[in-house]
């Protein structure tokens, strides 16, 4: 993939991930979190499934199960942890912890698939993670929400690796559709069990749901799955460090939240981290298992 095209798609995708935080916060005035996210993903998955009806559908029970598992991890798991953690910690703290997933991708990729990453890539991820923490002023504490949000990061990293491994047998838009449907249904069930569901219908609430469903779900997931399918999951997920930065900037624009000087300092460190993670090393550092993990990418 051309570097400029890749960079543009990454920026658009991470921006949509980031703006979902303040838009979702607006939506919480009209519906509880699990219900709001469940409506978002069921609507998005249903619309995308209709658009993909003529594309190749899952061919076996195994493929259907894979799509459901990814949905439980990527949509229900991550979003459920993010919003549930906000009962104890702030949205900024939750986004910081969730953004630790690139480091977990490298750790889990090394342990599970034997992928080998170079020292400067590990250093880049650590610097990027520190940059995210700096951007939010290190305002973190050990609350139940801290561990719940870290659980969301583990689920995000797991989904990233599973998508890369299973995606060659799927049409990526079809996979995005069914994983959102699976995740959305799971979130609706969680809402019935844990919440008192309600939805206040106004122009604002409907606009929030449509924005979350179309832009922050259909467009975002389609682009994200495409990027994971065409590149190294560790390098691609390293750009998730941009998500909380975009979240803060859009929160300032949409909600009037104050931006401190350390946001700029954190953004600078994030940029350095992304640069280091994406620096190419010699192929001697790549294991046979890693080569086997990405056969389609190598052919291209």
Which tens digits make up the pLDDT trace of 263-298? Answer: 667 777 877 877 787 666 544 343 333 323 333 332
Return the percentage of the chain with pLDDT > 90, whole number: 27
Q: What is the mean pLDDT of the chain?
A: 80
Minimal CA–CA distance to 205: which of 12, 18, 10, 32?
32
Task: Give the residue, 133 or 163, on which the prediction is more confident.
Answer: 163
The answer on pLDDT for 191 being more than 90 is yes
How far is Cα 294 from Cα 31, in angstroms, rounded to an integer? Answer: 41
Residue whose C-alpha is closest to residue 187's, from 277, 79, 98: 79
- For position 294, what pLDDT does the model report? 32
pLDDT score at 298: 28
Rounded distance, CA 40 to CA 187, Å? 10
pLDDT band at 107, cuts 50/70/90?
confident
What is the count of structural domains for the chain? Answer: 1
What is the chain's percent helix, strand, coil content, to nearest 5?
Answer: 80, 0, 20
Q: What is the pLDDT of residue 66?
A: 93
C-beta neighbour count of 93 within 10 angstroms = 22
Q: For position 225, what pLDDT does the model report?
A: 78
Q: Which position has the higher pLDDT, 234 or 26?
A: 26
Domain range for 238 is 3-299
Segment 93-105 shows an average pLDDT of 73
Percent over 70 (pLDDT), the chain: 85
pTM over 0.85: no
């Amino acid at each position: 993939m051309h570097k400029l095209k890749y960079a543009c798609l990454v920026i658009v995708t991470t921006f949509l991930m980031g703006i979902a935080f303040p838009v979702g916060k607006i939506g919480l005035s009209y519906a509880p979190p699990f219900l709001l996210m469940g409506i978002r993903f069921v609507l998005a998955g249903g619309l995308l499934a209709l658009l993909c009806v003529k594309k190749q559908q899952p061919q076996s029970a195994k493929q259907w199960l894979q799509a459901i598992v990814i949905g439980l991890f990527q949509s229900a798991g991550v979003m459920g942890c993010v919003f549930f953690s906000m009962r104890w910690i702030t949205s900024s703290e939750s986004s910081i912890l969730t953004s630790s997933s690139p480091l977990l991708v490298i750790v889990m990729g090394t342990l599970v698939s034997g992928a080998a990453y170079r020292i400067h890539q590990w250093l880049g991820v650590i610097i990027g993670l520190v940059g995210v923490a700096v951007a939010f002023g290190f305002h973190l504490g050990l609350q139940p929400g801290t561990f719940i949000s870290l659980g969301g990061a583990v689920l995000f990293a797991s989904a990233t690796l599973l998508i890369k491994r299973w995606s060659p047998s799927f049409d990526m838009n079809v996979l995005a559709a069914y994983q959102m449907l699976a995740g959305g249904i799971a979130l609706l069930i969680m809402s019935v069990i844990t919440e008192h569901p309600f939805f206040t219908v106004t122009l604002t609430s409907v606009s929030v749901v449509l924005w979350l469903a179309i832009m922050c779900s259909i467009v975002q997931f389609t682009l994200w799955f495409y990027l994971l399918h065409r590149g190294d999951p560790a390098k691609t997920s390293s750009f998730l460090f941009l998500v909380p930065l975009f979240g803060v900037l859009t929160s300032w624009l949409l909600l009037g939240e104050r931006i401190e000087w350390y946001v700029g300092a954190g953004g600078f460190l994030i940029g350095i981290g992304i640069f280091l993670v994406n620096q190419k090393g010699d192929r001697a550092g790549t294991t046979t298992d890693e080569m086997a993990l990405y056969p389609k990418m190598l052919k291209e």
